[in-house]
Chain A
Amino acid sequence: MFLSAWSLSLVLCSIVVLFLMANAARTGVRVLRYWDQASDSNLQISLENETWLASTLIEFALAVQGLSLLLFILAADSYSQVIAGAMCATGSLLANEFGLPTLYLKLAGFFLYGFWILLHQIDIRSEVYPLVRVKYLYLLLLLPFILADILFQTLYIANLDPDIITSCCAVVFSDATGEGGNLLGSLPQDLMLWLYYGTIVVLLGLALLMNNRIPGLMLAGKKVQSILSFLYAMGWLWFFGLALAVITAVISSYIYAMPFHRCPFCIIKQDYCYIGLAIYFTLICGTFFGISTALAELLARRPELAGPVRQYRKIAIDLSLILLIILAVLSSYHYLLYMITGGES
Chain B
Amino acid sequence: MIELESVNKIYNRGQPNEVQALYDVNLVIEANSMVCLRGASGSGKSTLLSIIGCILPPTSGRAAVAGKQLARLPDRFMTIHRRRTIGFIFQQFNILPDLSVQENISLPLLPLGVSPKERRIRAKVLIERLGISHRQDFPAGQISGGELQRVAIARALINDQPIILADEPTAHLDTKLSQEFLQTMVDLKKTGKTIIIASHDPLVTENPAIDRIIDITDGRVDVS
Direct interface between A and B, CB < 8 A: yes
Please give the residue numbers on chain A whose beta carbons come within 8 Å of chain B beta carbons, in ascending order. 37-38, 40-42, 45, 48-49, 124, 127-129
What are the 7 A-B residue pairs with the smallest beta carbon separation, nearest first?
A: A40-B57, A40-B59, A127-B77, A41-B13, A38-B72, A48-B75, A37-B72
Q: Please, how many angstroms separate the alpha-carbon atoms of A37 and B73 in the complex?
A: 8
Q: Is the CB of A40 within 8 A of B56?
A: yes
Q: Is the CB of B75 within 8 A of A127?
A: no
In the complex, whether B74 has a CB less than 8 A from a CB of chain A is yes
Q: Is the CB of A40 within 8 A of B58?
A: yes
Q: Is the CB of A124 within 8 A of B76?
A: yes
Interface string of B52-92 (1 = CB under 8 A from A): 00001111000000000001111111000000000000000
Chain B CB within 10 Å — which of A40, A45, A48 has the most?
A40
Measured as residues with beta carbon below 8 angstroms from the partner, the interface class of chain B is 10 to 19
Interface string of B133-170 (1 = CB under 8 A from A): 00000000000000000000000000000000000000
Residues of B within 8 A of A38 (CB): 71-72
Q: Which residue of B lies closest to A124 (CB)?
A: B76
Q: Is the CB of B74 within 8 A of A129?
A: yes
Q: Is the CB of A127 within 8 A of B58?
A: no
Residues of B within 8 A of A128 (CB): 72
Q: Please, how many angstroms separate the alpha-carbon atoms of A15 and B9 in the complex?
A: 44
Question: Which one of B12, B15, B74 contacts A48 once the chains associate, using CB atoms below 8 Å?
Answer: B74
| Shortest beta-carbon distance from B65 to chain A in Å | 15
Please give the residue numbers on chain B whose beta carbons come within 8 Å of chain A beta carbons, in ascending order. 9, 11-15, 56-59, 71-77
Residues of B within 8 A of A40 (CB): 9, 56-59, 71
Q: Please, how many angstroms separate the alpha-carbon atoms of A129 and B72 in the complex?
A: 10
Q: Please, how many angstroms separate the alpha-carbon atoms of A41 and B56 in the complex?
A: 11
Residues of B within 8 A of A41 (CB): 13-14
Residues of B within 8 A of A37 (CB): 72, 74
Q: What are 10 A-B residue pairs whose CB atoms fall within 8 Å in the complex?
A: A38-B72, A40-B58, A40-B71, A41-B14, A42-B13, A48-B74, A48-B75, A124-B76, A127-B77, A128-B72
Q: Please, how many angstroms separate the alpha-carbon atoms of A48 and B56 in the complex?
A: 13
Q: Which residue of B lies closest to A48 (CB)?
A: B75
Q: Is the CB of A42 within 8 A of B74?
A: no
| Shortest beta-carbon distance from A318 to chain B in Å | 20
Dominant secondary structure at the A interface: loop
Residues of A within 8 A of B77 (CB): 127
Q: Which residue of B lies closest to A37 (CB)?
A: B72
| Shortest beta-carbon distance from B53 to chain A in Å | 15
Q: Please, how many angstroms separate the alpha-carbon atoms of A128 and B72 in the complex?
A: 8
Q: Which residue of B lies closest to A129 (CB)?
A: B74
Residues of A within 8 A of B73 (CB): 127
Q: Which residue of B lies closest to A45 (CB)?
A: B75
Question: Which one of A42, A49, A124, A127 contacts B12 once the chains associate, using CB atoms below 8 Å?
Answer: A42
Residues of B within 8 A of A42 (CB): 11-13, 15
Q: Please, how many angstroms separate the alpha-carbon atoms of A128 and B76 in the complex?
A: 11
Q: Which residue of B lies closest to A41 (CB)?
A: B13
Q: Please, how many angstroms separate the alpha-carbon atoms of A36 and B72 in the complex?
A: 9
Q: Please, how many angstroms separate the alpha-carbon atoms of A42 and B59 in the complex?
A: 11
Q: Please, how many angstroms separate the alpha-carbon atoms of A124 and B175 in the complex?
A: 48
Q: Which residue of A lies closest to B75 (CB)?
A: A48
Q: Please, how many angstroms separate the alpha-carbon atoms of A7 and B218 in the complex?
A: 65
Q: Please, how many angstroms separate the alpha-carbon atoms of A49 and B75 in the complex?
A: 9
Q: Please, how many angstroms separate the alpha-carbon atoms of A11 and B15 in the complex?
A: 44
- Given A41-B13, A41-B14, is A127 in contact with B59 using a C-beta cutoff of 8 Å? no
| Shortest beta-carbon distance from A260 to chain B in Å | 53
Q: Please, how many angstroms separate the alpha-carbon atoms of A48 and B74 in the complex?
A: 8
Residues of A within 8 A of B75 (CB): 45, 48-49
Q: Please, how many angstroms separate the alpha-carbon atoms of A48 and B59 in the complex?
A: 16
Q: Please, how many angstroms separate the alpha-carbon atoms of A42 and B10 in the complex?
A: 10
Chain A CB within 10 Å — which of B9, B12, B74, B77 has the most?
B74
Q: Which residue of A lies closest to B77 (CB)?
A: A127
Residues of B within 8 A of A124 (CB): 74, 76
Given contacts A37-B72, A38-B72, A40-B9, 16 further A-B contacts (CB under 8 A): A37-B74, A38-B71, A40-B56, A40-B57, A40-B71, A41-B14, A42-B11, A42-B12, A42-B13, A42-B15, A48-B74, A49-B75, A124-B74, A124-B76, A127-B73, A127-B77
| Shortest beta-carbon distance from B24 to chain A in Å | 16
Residues of A within 8 A of B13 (CB): 41-42
| Shortest beta-carbon distance from B69 to chain A in Å | 9
Q: Which residue of A lies closest to B59 (CB)?
A: A40
Residues of A within 8 A of B11 (CB): 42
| Shortest beta-carbon distance from A338 to chain B in Å | 46
Q: Please, how many angstroms separate the alpha-carbon atoms of A41 and B57 in the complex?
A: 10
Q: Please, how many angstroms separate the alpha-carbon atoms of A45 and B9 in the complex?
A: 14
Q: Please, how many angstroms separate the alpha-carbon atoms of A124 and B13 in the complex?
A: 26
Q: Please, how many angstroms separate the alpha-carbon atoms of A149 and B159 in the complex?
A: 49
